[in-house]
Amino acid sequence: MLSFGRDLGWATSIFFIGIGGIGMSALARYFAANGKRVAGYDRTPSQITFGLEKLGVEIHFEDRLKNIPISFLNKEKTLVVYTPAVPKEHTELNYFINNNFTVLKRAAILGKITESTFCLAVAGTHGKTTTSAILGHIMKDENATSFLGGIAENYNSNLILGEDKISVVEADEFDRSFLQLSPNIACITSMDADHLDIYGEPEALQESFFAFSQKVSDTLIVAKGLPLKGLTYAVNEDSDYKVSNIKIESGKYIFDVRTPSSILKNIEFHLPGKHNVMNALAALAMADVYGVSLEKIKHSLSTFKGVARRFTYKIKTNNFVLIDDYAHHPTEINAVENSIREMYPDDKVLVVFQPHLFSRTRDFIDDFASALSKFDEVLLLDIYPARELPIAGVTSDWLLSKVECKNKKLTKKNNLIKDIKNSSAKVVVMLGAGDIGETINEVTNQLLKSVENEV
């Protein structure tokens, strides 16, 4: 079992507030797998909470003190972990705080784990989930334990359980969480403006990434062009790690990589999009710096299946394609659109988008509109509020008014299947970080029936 600090080793029970979050659930899985009693609260059931319950984790979905299992009310044995997305007025959280339980943010727990392991950390406003999942897959044979921000398809999990010497973590810039980590080797994929509800100004976000870079004890690896000193990586640009000779054959990428000391030819990689080639290169560079052989890295890249909700095919036939993606920032939407045009250059594409956060929609309204305007048709759902209250005037209707695509409309979840069926688009992509990730399952089931009836 991974140590998470002698000062917290007393805890036999771990209670998670916000246990269904992707980062929280990875920690919950880890502690459950290592013999701790685990329980928690979340706002709504999901595939993640169902999976935890199958492991014996007790979860409730109403914020009421009577729902907390009695065995978790012993402050001498219970550690409480919460996510900053939980509202400050949360009844259970305040009970634990007011009664002097040990209450820590998720980032602090992850920080304790990285203190006692050799840590490889992946940071960046985009690409960190896929990059850390690729790296976790590569490092599996090194017996690393990987805490991921997405469900790795190879393992159907956001936790790759290994031994106690090496950790792979996704270093989250939200709430400055990554400043609690102790990385030995780290990568920064991107530093685009985001989370301005937390940072206020883009410059503050950049300062936070600089502070993270200063915490790296051994080697920092950065995408070329970022204002940080470290080993660089790029596609078709001179850099310490460089991808060249990219080809697409039978739906997969084949490319060469030049490292500081050698050349690796004909790497096979199955994820679509040049941005994913960059993610693969970042993971390769980190593993190479750690000391994994290039041939082992090459084999791992060829067997990596992807991350759920990152350009995930839900339906793929000759006549109809449905793709699911977590993209919730304009840069990510542009990357998905580029990937689709690369794979389906002659086909009509419909995007279904659920904006995530009122503040993010407000801060990047013109960039969102520009990204969505590149699609042939647009269906726009209401803004998913997550941790926020509404902001006057910030609505999906406002966003839609700025989208220049001719075929555009607002829709509701209960009209979504009908609206998709009324479209002549061959390729449909559903984007967003809110509960559209749950809606996609019902949409897939209904559209599969239609596709089967047409065969």
pLDDT digits (tens, 9 = 90+) for 330-389: 999 998 999 899 889 899 999 999 999 999 999 999 999 999 999 999 999 999 998 789
Phi and psi, residue 429, nearest 5° = -125, 130
The candidate with the shortest Cα–Cα distance to 307, out of 150, 111, 173, 160, is: 150
Q: How far is CA 89 from the centre of its chain?
A: 27
Structure token digits, residue 82: 């919460």
Hey, which residues does 226 pair with through a beta bridge? none
Which pTM was predicted?
0.83
Can you give the pLDDT at residue 84?
81
Length of the chain: 455
Distance separating alpha carbons of residues 277 and 234, to the nearest angstrom: 9
At CA 316, angle to CA 313 and CA 319, rounded to 5?
Answer: 145
The candidate with the shortest Cα–Cα distance to 155, out of 172, 132, 136, is: 136
Report the largest interatomic distance among the alpha carbons of the chain, rounded to a whole angstrom: 63
The candidate with the shortest Cα–Cα distance to 287, out of 263, 316, 259, 309, is: 259
Distance separating alpha carbons of residues 448 and 228, to the nearest angstrom: 47
Given a cut of 70, is residue 191 above it in pLDDT? yes
Of 339 and 304, which is predicted with more confidence? 304
The DSSP bridge pattern shows strands 118-123 and 185-188 to be: parallel
Q: Which residue type does 55 have?
A: L
The candidate with the shortest Cα–Cα distance to 282, out of 136, 159, 147, is: 136
The candidate with the shortest Cα–Cα distance to 181, out of 253, 270, 120, is: 120
* Domains, in order of start, for the chain: 6-106 (3.40.50.720), 117-303 (3.40.1190.10), 312-454 (3.90.190.20)
Element (H, E) at 67: none
Of 437 and 181, which is predicted with more confidence? 181
Can you give the pLDDT at residue 6?
46
Give the mean pLDDT of 224-243. Answer: 96
Report pLDDT digits (tens) over 99-109.
999 999 998 99
- The set of residues, in sequence order, having a beta carbon less than 8 Å from that of 418 and lying 6+ positions away, is none
The candidate with the shortest Cα–Cα distance to 185, out of 150, 215, 159, 160, is: 215
Given a cut of 90, is residue 454 above it in pLDDT? no
Helices marked H in 183-293: 196-199, 202-214, 274-290
The residue written with tokens 């400050």 in the block is: 88
The candidate with the shortest Cα–Cα distance to 172, out of 105, 230, 115, is: 105
Distance separating alpha carbons of residues 224 and 242, to the nearest angstrom: 10
Structure token digits, residue 385: 């509020």
Report pLDDT digits (tens) over 16-70.
999 999 999 999 999 999 889 999 999 989 889 999 999 999 999 999 999 999 9
Structure token digits, residue 337: 């659109």
E strands, 308-384, in order: 312-316, 321-325, 349-353, 377-380
E strands, 270-422, in order: 312-316, 321-325, 349-353, 377-380, 407-410
Can you give the pLDDT at residue 328?
93
Give the mean pLDDT of 410-419. Answer: 95
Per the prediction, the chain carries an average pLDDT of 92
Distance separating alpha carbons of residues 181 and 303, to the nearest angstrom: 29
Report pLDDT digits (tens) over 199-224.
557 678 788 899 999 999 999 999 99
Element (H, E) at 257: strand 252-258
Can you give the pLDDT at residue 82?
95
Given a cut of 60, is residue 225 above it in pLDDT? yes
The DSSP bridge pattern shows strands 252-258 and 241-249 to be: antiparallel
Q: Using N-to-C axis directions, what is the helix angle for 22-33 and 106-115, rounded to 10°?
A: 50
Distance separating alpha carbons of residues 382 and 164, to the nearest angstrom: 44
Given a cut of 90, is residue 133 above it in pLDDT? yes
Can you give the pLDDT at residue 179?
93
Q: How would residue 1 be classed by pLDDT, with cut points 50, 70 and 90?
A: very low
CA torsion through residues 323, 328, 331, 332, sign: negative
Phi and psi, residue 256, nearest 5° = -105, 155
The answer to whether the beta carbons of residues 93 and 103 sit under 8 Å apart is yes
Buried b (16+ CB within 10 A) or exposed e, 37-69: bbbbbbeeebebbebbeeeebbbbeebeeeebe
Q: Which residue type does 241 have?
A: Y
